[in-house]
């Protein structure tokens, strides 16, 4: 309950108290949508063909929105590219785009359809929100004509944006966000010149919004939480899993915990492209999630959340820096995790305490396995450096992971099955950042809600024996300020070597 409007209102009139009453909790919904794709995205289609395809997707979204509203949801998030799919050129996406005005114009498209030209998709989304009295979050394309004599203006005379829109429960457009951090291959879209910090208030908290690849960068994602103090992030995404550290449900739930916000992630459902994993995550624990590599069906997920979850402060280096680095004489080895060379030590015993360091980062682990199997190898790894493949970002990572095989050179390769449960673990690191995202992922890509916690001195530790075999326990740190200042030449060589490796090896990458 927000105090000041309540008091002000109570003084003015007893009647308005009901209208301003805010909610302590709300019901959130996310819809993992099996998007219907155009048959060919290399050739342009007419606008009416584009609209017909979008309406087929909107028919499915409509079912999810109605169902969510009937079950009491206050807000529903649908995925990035959920209305027309992925992989267009600038020209072939064009018939799918609408001019989306700045929400300051105060517009309910459902009531006033043609105020900003022909905008059938916005009208339909607005009516879905209004008819069902629910906030609707969707992702679509925005087009803005520009003057080609302006050097910023693309040669075809228009900006095209990957855009999230939000309609409130009256159908009013309340938010428009243009994706900042486009993923490689998203050439059909432009990034805005400045990151857009888009927020809006509701009776159930303050919301911020961004899209997919944005989650790996400081702006707008981190600024929305630290400066603008939002309670809940809305996150349409088209996310392809990359194990061990970047599976959708794993990384998105970790970001919610590390940043201390609610996080509503709606992913595309496309098992063939390894796209699945949507969820509703509170800072203390995932509340509901969906991961399905077997069926081709979409899925609606609902959960109740606190409107103002509140954040606890963690010093991510406090515990680890109090530990003396033992000279245990463990044999270290190097192995590659998603193109980054980690330093590892093997966990040879059924229990133990290990330390491994790389550059400025030392990682400490205490653990006890339920059994020490001969057919499985686990290792503790550290990485402190610039990741340069499919995006440039500086990482500090401490990770306990299952190696793909008993060959140590496979430590860090994608693996989604394991057999070893852990009785306990406690992982910490001497991080040079306050942005650390704690991940625990179990066999068959499952989360472990309620099974672990983070202490204020920066330990990620188990509360009970794990409910399933462990794939990884990880502290994924981001050092944003080092993204563009690393020793350029050697990194550049590494980068091009990795690009070559990428081209010649059939590894599945993630697309966002």
Ligand X SMILES: *[C@@H]1O[C@H](CO)[C@@H](O)[C@H](O)[C@H]1NC(C)=O
Q: Does 318 bind ligand X (CB under 6 A)?
A: yes
Q: How many CA atoms lie within 13 A of 352 on its CB side?
A: 17
Q: Which is nearer to ligand X, 323 or 507 (CB)?
A: 323
Q: Determine phi and psi for 68, rounding to 5 degrees.
A: -60, -45
Q: Does 55 bind ligand X (CB under 6 A)?
A: no
Q: Does 366 bind ligand X (CB under 6 A)?
A: yes
Give least dist CB 367 to ligand X, A.
9
Q: Does 363 bind ligand X (CB under 6 A)?
A: no
Give least dist CB 431 to ligand X, A.
10
Per-residue mark of binding to ligand X, 270-309 (x: CB under 6 A) = ----------------------------------------
Residue of 130, 172, 179, 402 marked catalytic: 179
Quote the CA–CA distance of 502 and 120 in Å, as a whole number: 41
Q: Which residues pair with 393 in a beta bridge?
A: 387
Angular region, 21: left φ>0, alpha ψ -120 to 50, beta rest: beta
Q: Does 353 bind ligand X (CB under 6 A)?
A: yes
Q: Could you report how far apart the first and last alpha carbons of the chain are, in Å?
A: 37
Residue pair 210/162 in contact (Cβ under 8 Å)? The answer is: no
Residues 89-128 binding ligand X (CB under 6 A) are: 124, 127-128
Residues 333-352 binding ligand X (CB under 6 A) are: 351-352
Residue of 110, 127, 212, 363 marked catalytic: 212
Whether 212 is catalytic: yes
Residue of 80, 98, 186, 306 marked catalytic: 80
Q: Which is nearer to ligand X, 88 or 316 (CB)?
A: 316
C-alpha gyration radius of the chain = 24
Q: Which is nearer to ligand X, 139 or 180 (CB)?
A: 139
Pick one of 55, 284, 315, 433: the residue that binds ligand X (CB under 6 A).
315
Using the Cα atoms of residue 223, residue 226, residue 232 and residue 235 in order, give the sign of their dihedral. Answer: positive
Q: Does 152 bind ligand X (CB under 6 A)?
A: no
Q: Which stretch binds ligand X (CB under 6 A): 7-15, 20-28, 314-322, 468-476?
A: 314-322
Q: 501: part of which helix (H) or strand (E)?
A: helix 488-504
Quote the CA–CA distance of 374 and 353 in Å, as a whole number: 20
Q: Which of 390, 480, 484 is nearest to 186 (CA)?
A: 390
Quote the CA–CA distance of 388 and 205 in Å, as a whole number: 37
Whether 80 is catalytic: yes
Q: Does 330 bind ligand X (CB under 6 A)?
A: no
Whether 348 is catalytic: no
Q: Where are the alpha helices (DSSP H) in 218-317?
A: 223-226, 248-259
Residue pair 472/444 in contact (Cβ under 8 Å)? The answer is: no
The footprint of ligand X (CB under 6 A) covers: 124, 127-128, 131, 147, 149, 315, 317-318, 321, 351-353, 366
Give the residue numbers annotated as catalytic, written as ranges. Answer: 80, 179, 212
């Amino acid at each position: 309950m927000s105090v000041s409007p309540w008091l002000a209102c109570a003084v003015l009139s007893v009647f308005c108290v009901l209208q301003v009453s805010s909610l302590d909790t709300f019901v959130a919904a996310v819809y993992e949508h099996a998007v219907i794709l155009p048959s060919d995205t290399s050739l342009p289609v007419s606008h009416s063909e584009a609209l017909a395809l979008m309406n087929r997707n909107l028919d499915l979204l409509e079912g999810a929105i109605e169902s969510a509203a009937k079950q009491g949801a206050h807000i529903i998030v649908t995925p990035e590219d959920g209305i027309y799919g992925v992989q267009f050129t600038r020209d072939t996406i064009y018939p799918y785009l609408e001019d989306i005005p700045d929400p300051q114009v105060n517009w309910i498209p459902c009531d006033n359809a043609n105020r900003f030209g022909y905008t059938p998709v916005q009208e339909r989304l607005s009516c879905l929100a209004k008819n069902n009295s629910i906030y609707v979050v969707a992702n679509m394309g925005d087009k803005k004509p520009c003057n080609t004599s302006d050097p910023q203006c693309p040669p075809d005379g228009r900006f095209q944006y990957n855009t999230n829109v939000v309609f409130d429960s009256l159908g009013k457009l309340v938010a428009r966000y243009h994706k900042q951090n486009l993923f490689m291959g998203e050439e059909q879209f432009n990034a805005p010149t400045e990151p857009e910090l888009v927020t809006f208030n509701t009776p159930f908290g303050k919301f911020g919004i961004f899209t997919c690849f944005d989650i790996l960068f400081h702006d707008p994602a981190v600024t929305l939480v630290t400066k603008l103090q939002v309670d809940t992030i809305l996150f349409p995404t088209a996310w392809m899993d990359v194990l061990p550290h970047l599976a959708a449900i794993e990384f998105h739930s970790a970001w919610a915990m590390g940043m201390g916000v609610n996080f509503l992630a709606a992913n595309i459902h496309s098992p063939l492209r390894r796209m699945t994993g949507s969820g509703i995550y509170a800072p203390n624990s995932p509340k509901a999630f969906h991961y399905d590599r077997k069926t081709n069906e979409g899925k609606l997920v609902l959960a109740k959340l606190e409107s103002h979850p509140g954040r606890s402060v963690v010093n991510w280096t406090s515990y680890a820096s109090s530990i003396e680095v033992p000279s245990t004489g463990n044999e270290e080895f190097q192995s590659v995790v998603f193109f980054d060379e980690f330093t590892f030590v093997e966990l040879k015993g059924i229990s133990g305490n290990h330390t491994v360091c790389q550059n400025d980062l030392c990682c400490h682990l205490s653990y006890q396995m339920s059994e020490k199997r001969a057919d499985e190898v686990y290792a503790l790894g550290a990485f402190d450096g610039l990741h340069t493949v499919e995006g440039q970002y500086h990482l500090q990572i401490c990770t306990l992971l299952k190696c793909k095989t008993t060959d140590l050179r496979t430590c860090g390769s994608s693996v989604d099955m394991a057999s070893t449960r852990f009785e306990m673990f406690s992982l910490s690191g001497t991080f040079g950042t306050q942005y650390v995202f704690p991940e625990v992922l179990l066999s068959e890509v499952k989360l472990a809600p309620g099974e672990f916690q983070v202490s204020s001195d920066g330990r990620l530790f188990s509360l009970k024996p794990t409910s399933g075999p462990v794939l990884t326990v990880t502290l994924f740190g981001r050092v944003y300020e080092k993204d563009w200042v690393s020793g350029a030449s050697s990194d550049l060589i590494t980068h091009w070597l990795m690009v070559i490796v990428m081209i010649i090896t059939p590894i599945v990458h993630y697309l966002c």
